[in-house]
A = this chain, B = another copy of it.
C-alpha cells in the first residue's frame, strides 16, 4: 500500500447527517497507515481552487463527534461543476499537496464532479483515487436503495405533516404543504408516514413523477373536502405538467451552474396553488406553507438509522480507497433481502451514479397519481424510525 495524502470536501445542498459521513471518513483515515495528511477543502472544489484547507488531523475527537451531530456541511459547500480549466487547476493543487485519496460528499451533481475529475486524472495519468460519498435528501441516486440524508429529512417532513394535520383538524379548511424534491418525489412521499388513523392527513400527495393538472387537482381537493370535511395536501416543489415543464417554472428566473431552476427558498408555488383552490374550488380557508430549508437543516431530530448509515458510508469510502484493487467509485447502500431491515455497502462505478436521477418507482404511487402505496410506507418506515406519539380523544375517533 503506497502512502499518500487525502483530501475531502462537501458539495451541494447540506443535510442533517452529511457531517456524519465526513467524520466517518476522517476517523477511518486517521486510523489508517496508508493515509498521511488529511486536508479538508472549504466549500468543495472552490476550496481546492482557492487552496483553502483545514488540517483534519488537528481536530480533537470530541470536536469531531460534536460536528458529526451538527446539521449542514461543516467544511462549507458549493454548487459548481468543474470546467476543463478547473480540472487542470485542481490537478495542479492536488499534485502540489501530493494527494492520493480524494473524497467528495454529495448528490448526483457531486458524483458527476468526481467522475469528471477522475476521467481527467486518468487522461493525465495522474495516480489518484477518486471516491464519491453519497448524500442527498432527495433520495434520487441510482444504484442506492436510499441515500444518507433522506431518512432525516423524511423524518422532518413526516413530523411536520403530523403536526400540521392536527392543526388543520382543529381549524379546518385546506392546507397545502410544499416539500423539497426537484425531480424525485421521495421526500414528498414521506408525508404519508404521518398517518395513523384512516382519516389522518395528508389526504392527497403529488409527486413530480406524475403529470400535474390544475383540473385534476381541484377535483381531488373537492372530493377530499366532501369525504373528510378538511384537506391536507403534500405537494412536491417539482410538480410538472405532461410535457415536463415545472408548474412554477414561469414564476422564477434563477438557474444554477448545473442548469437547475430555483424551486426552494420561495413561497410562490404554495401561494399559486392556494389561490387556485380558493378561486376554482370555492373554499374560503386555504393556507400554504413551504417547508423550505428546515427540511435539511433542523437540528436534534435526525433519524438514528440515517445518522449511523451516513457515518458508515464515510468509513466504507476510505476502506475502499486504500484497497489495491479499487481505484475509484461511489459507495452505494443496498438493502438486504432480510425480513428485519439491514443494509450492505458496495462500491459502484462513478458513471452509474453521476448526474442521472432515480425516480420514485411505479409500485410506490397509487393509480390516480395522488397518493402513495403501502409498498412505499413499508420501504420508508425503517429509514425514518418511530415518530413522536400523537393521540386524540377516544370519542373523536372514527
Which positions in A face B, CB cutoff 8 Å? 10, 13-14, 16, 40, 43, 54-56, 58-60, 63, 66-67, 69-79, 159-160, 162-164, 166-167, 169-171, 175, 264-268, 270-271, 274, 286-294, 296-301, 387-396
- Distance of A159 Cα from B298 Cα, bound (Å): 7
**Contact at B170–A73, with CB atoms within 8 Å?**
yes
> From residue A261, how far is it (CB to closest CB) to chain B in Å?
14
Query: Which B residue's beta carbon lies closest to that of A69?
Result: B389
- Distance of A118 Cα from B274 Cα, bound (Å): 39
A72-B170, A73-B170 known; A54 vs B395 contact (CB < 8 Å): yes
**Contact at B163–A297, with CB atoms within 8 Å?**
yes
- New contact pairs (7) apart from A71-B167, A300-B387, CB-CB < 8 Å: A58-B394, A58-B395, A167-B297, A266-B267, A267-B270, A268-B271, A289-B290
> From residue A147, how far is it (CB to closest CB) to chain B in Å?
18
**Contact at A170–B63, with CB atoms within 8 Å?**
no
Contacting A59 at CB < 8 Å: which of B163, B164, B394?
B394
**Contact at A67–B300, with CB atoms within 8 Å?**
no
Contacting A300 at CB < 8 Å: which of B72, B159, B291?
B159
**Contact at B294–A391, with CB atoms within 8 Å?**
no
* Residues of chain B lying within 8 A (CB to CB) of residue A10: 170
**Contact at A391–B67, with CB atoms within 8 Å?**
yes
Query: Which B residue's beta carbon lies closest to that of A76?
Result: B170
**Contact at B160–A298, with CB atoms within 8 Å?**
yes
Query: Which B residue's beta carbon lies closest to that of A265?
Result: B287
**Contact at B265–A72, with CB atoms within 8 Å?**
no
* Residues of chain B lying within 8 A (CB to CB) of residue A274: 265-266
**Contact at B72–A167, with CB atoms within 8 Å?**
yes
* Residues of chain B lying within 8 A (CB to CB) of residue A77: 170-171
**Contact at B14–A71, with CB atoms within 8 Å?**
no
- Distance of A77 Cα from B270 Cα, bound (Å): 24
Provide a sorted-by-A list of 5 A–B residue pairs whose CB atoms are within 8 angstroms.
A54-B393, A58-B394, A77-B170, A163-B299, A166-B299
> From residue A230, how far is it (CB to closest CB) to chain B in Å?
10
* Residues of chain B lying within 8 A (CB to CB) of residue A391: 63, 66-67, 69-70
* Residues of chain B lying within 8 A (CB to CB) of residue A264: 287
Contacting A289 at CB < 8 Å: which of B166, B265, B287?
B265
> From residue A236, how far is it (CB to closest CB) to chain B in Å?
16
> From residue A165, how far is it (CB to closest CB) to chain B in Å?
9
- Distance of A193 Cα from B359 Cα, bound (Å): 39
> From residue A382, how far is it (CB to closest CB) to chain B in Å?
19
**Contact at A59–B289, with CB atoms within 8 Å?**
no
Contacting A293 at CB < 8 Å: which of B43, B63, B175, B296?
B175
